[in-house]
Copies of this chain bind each other. A is one copy, B any other.
Amino acid sequence: MEKLWTENLRDIEPYVPGEQSSDKDIIKLNANENPYPPSPESLEVMKKFDIAELRKYPNANSTPLKAALADYYNVDIKNVFVGNGSDDVIAIAFQALFNSELPIVYPDLTYSFYPVWCRLFNIPFKTYPVNHDFRINPDDYREKNGGVVIPNPNAPTSIGEGLDFVRKIMDYNRDSVVIIDEAYVDFGGISSIPLISEYENLLVTGTFSKSRSLAGLRIGFAIGSERLVSVLEAVKNSYNSYTVDSLSIEIGRASVLDDEYFKETCRKIINTRQHVTEELRALGFVLPDSSANFLFVTHDKLSMKEMFEYLKEKKVFIRYFDVPRIDNYVRITIGTDDEMDVLLKEIRGYIDYVKA
């Protein structure tokens, strides 16, 4: 017989994080990580950091990091929120800003954590299918709702939309909070941050895990009106006063200040992406123009699931989704030029293997 105390345990389906491998021989193009190391300034910060300082609690407001972001985005520090990765930031935003009986809305093909947070926080939700070309139709978002969340660029589709698109969403949703999730924006997308002065109900979220090569440190942020940020702060401070640690505050700040390195690595990834896109199309693959650090790839005559498994045996890890509508697609993270050359070589090998 089950014991009585087990009745009070939260009954929630465990979300299993994606597989990680520590095998150094693997070419890891499955987690949208940046192939380049973080800014060399991070190393300087680590070298100079006085380890004795770790005995003290971090700055509860993460002020040095927020101040750097406020300068960078030309907003007030009161428009900036930071957290333990953008998952922490968006989870707090869901808790803080989506308290309606109406469902929140988002695209059917998108970040897989949105429904997980909805279930965790008991938020009703509804999805709108993306078009046949995987673009989001802004006119779907005219229905009354409890909130809107849209990633731009979207994942796993890689497609970015411009400010006209975001303005339409905002104009249709004057009575809801709208979150634009810009995890991938720095690879050629268009940021909605300049719109926060026009729309007090707009929250834009970002991460240091992709374009800033700091996934290992867990830094996320949100930019929005003072009103929205103050509600995020109230919920965050009711949960954990110190979510961003002292080293992350300093290393994150150094990353923001080293804009030259940041722009250079983003540019390298964009150039590699362009080259790989052309090579794949020449091989008959079909993929939208990407605004992110990954490609969303299919082929009329090849099984993407089999190709994924073939590449895995060759120690090239990409991502396959066993999900309706996209079960013949793979998501391929942009690595270094050398890594992508190996990928292309192994893909050619797979095509030969299928033909044989």
Contacts and interface: CB of A to CB of B under 8 A. Distances in A.
Interface in A89-107: 91, 95-100
Interface string A27-67: 01001011111100011001001011111111111000000
Interface stretch (A238-246, A297-305, A347-355): A238-246
Nearest to A32: B57
Contact of A6 (B60, B227, B245, B251): B227
A217 B235 contact: no
A323 interface: no
Contact of A217 (B14, B214, B233, B246): B246
10 contacts: A4-B175, A12-B238, A15-B234, A37-B54, A55-B213, A84-B243, A87-B239, A117-B239, A119-B238, A245-B248
A238 B217 CA distance: 19
A290 interface: no
Contact of A37 (B17, B55, B175, B230): B55
A1 interface: no
Number of copies: 2
User: Most B CB atoms within 10 A — which of A55, A58, A175, A217?
Assistant: A55
B57 A51 contact: no
Nearest to A243: B84
A35 B53 CA distance: 10
Interface of A: 3-10, 12-18, 20, 28, 31, 33-38, 42-43, 46, 49, 51-61, 84-85, 87-88, 91, 95-100, 116-117, 119-120, 146-147, 174-177, 200-201, 209, 213-218, 227-228, 230-231, 233-235, 237-243, 245-248, 251
Nearest to A146: B8
A8 B240 contact: no
A10 B99 CA distance: 6
A120 B28 CA distance: 39
Contacts of A213: 54-55
B55 A215 contact: yes
A216 B54 contact: yes
A237 B177 contact: no
A35 B18 CA distance: 40
A55 B31 contact: no
B241 A8 contact: no
Contacts of A85: 240, 242-243
User: Most B CB atoms within 10 A — which of A31, A53, A238?
Assistant: A238
A56 B201 CA distance: 33
Contacts of A146: 8
Contacts of A120: 235, 238-239
A57 B17 CA distance: 11
Contact of A84 (B38, B84, B176): B84
Q: Which 4 A-B pairs have the closest CB atoms?
A: A216-B246, A37-B52, A54-B216, A4-B175
A112 B111 CA distance: 36
Contacts of A245: 216-218, 245, 248
Contacts of A251: 54
Nearest to A177: B5
Contacts of A117: 238-239
A209 B57 contact: yes
A9 B96 contact: yes
